[in-house]
Amino acid sequence: MAKVIINENICKGCELCISACPKKILKLSEEKINHKGYSPAECIDVEKCTGCTFCALICPDVAIEIQA
């Protein structure tokens, strides 16, 4: 099972990863705000992650890592 790791301090909430995810398991946090004032992305269903890395590849800030 793959694991999505999002560096919340780098993420600026651009939502590119959300649109790139084929499983639609990413969303912007409704509870967290990072030190830059953005709502970072978060994975809402880790079990469904296939490890495709589309989210990590599209992230302009390199804030996402996929661990296999």
- Express each pLDDT in 3-55 by its tens digit: 999 999 999 999 999 999 999 999 999 999 999 999 999 999 999 999 999 99
Q: Is 68's pLDDT higher than 90?
A: no
Q: What is the pLDDT of residue 20?
A: 98
Q: Tokens 């495709």 identify what position?
A: 52
Decide if 66 contacts 53 (C-beta within 8 A).
yes
For the chain, domain boundaries: 3-67
- Rg, C-alpha atoms of the chain: 11
Q: May I ask the CATH architecture of the domain 3-67?
A: 2-Layer Sandwich (3.30)
Give the pLDDT of residue 1: 83
Q: What is the pLDDT of residue 15?
A: 98
